[in-house]
Amino acid sequence: MKNLNYLLVLFVLVISCGQNDLEKETLQLKEKELALKERELTLQEKSTSDQPSDDVESSIEVTYTSHSPCMFGVKLPSNYKLEPIQEDISSDYCDYHVKGKPEGLILEFHSLLNSRFNFDNIEELYDAALKSTKLDVSYKAQKGNWFVISGTNKSNGNAVYWKRVWGEMYVSDLHIEYPKSKASEIEPSIGTISNSFTSR
């Protein structure tokens, strides 16, 4: 009987030890599984951050600076440097261009007295511009005291955006031209530049 009791106690101890070992192994497996999942998530996050993302690009805020050097006013990205095209100064006209990022961008502003034009209003200027344009036009609009014509420069394939504003005394032009490969860098700013463009 003593031997039987001893065997029973030994059997219970073996079983409980076996269960403890099994529980330990299960816990170790779960820990390894969690570690693998964590590693997988880390690798996924890294591969996502290594690839350019539209969401990342769109979250980058651009700061703008207001300019009104002569007969026009405009807001430009703060890293764009506005400079006169000619050194001479005239009350009849002014011409400026931008030096800055990105490479390949042509951004110019021109203002000229209304009296220098052979037209009486913006509608006539718009009609004449459409007839004489050398662009492959993809967009055109005329509202109030301005018009916009945009499209592709047939000679070099660049994208072109042209806005003309009829002010009280001056007609002012905004001319933007850039390689289409730079569209993602330049186009997000065009709306702010164009909407802020005014003529005196």
Tell whether 68 is covered by a domain.
yes
- 97: which 2 tokens? 């261009």
Does one domain contain both 79 and 39? no
Do 160 and 95 fall into the same domain? yes
Structure tokens of 178?
């850039």
Tell me whether residue 57 is in a domain.
no
Q: What is the pLDDT of residue 55?
A: 40
- Number of domains into which the chain is organized: 2
Cα–Cα distance for residue pair 124/118, rounded to 1 Å: 9
Q: Within this chain, do residues 194 and 166 fall inside the same structural domain, yes or no?
A: yes
The reported pLDDT for the residue numbered 8 is: 43
pLDDT in tens, 69-103: 999 999 999 999 999 998 877 888 999 999 877 78
Full domain range(s) for residue 169 = 63-199
Confidence of residue 30 (pLDDT cuts 50, 70, 90): low
- Residue 111: is it exposed, middle or buried by C-beta count within 10 angstroms (0-12/13-18/19+)? buried
Looking at 14, 29, 51, the residue that finishes a domain is 51
The domain that holds 138 is classified in CATH as 3.40.1000.10
Looking at residues 113-123, what average pLDDT do you find? 89
Residue 102: asked if its preceding bond is cis (omega within 30°), the reply is: yes
- Per-residue pLDDT, averaged over 15-32, amounts to 58
The yes-or-no verdict on residue 57 having pLDDT over 50 is no
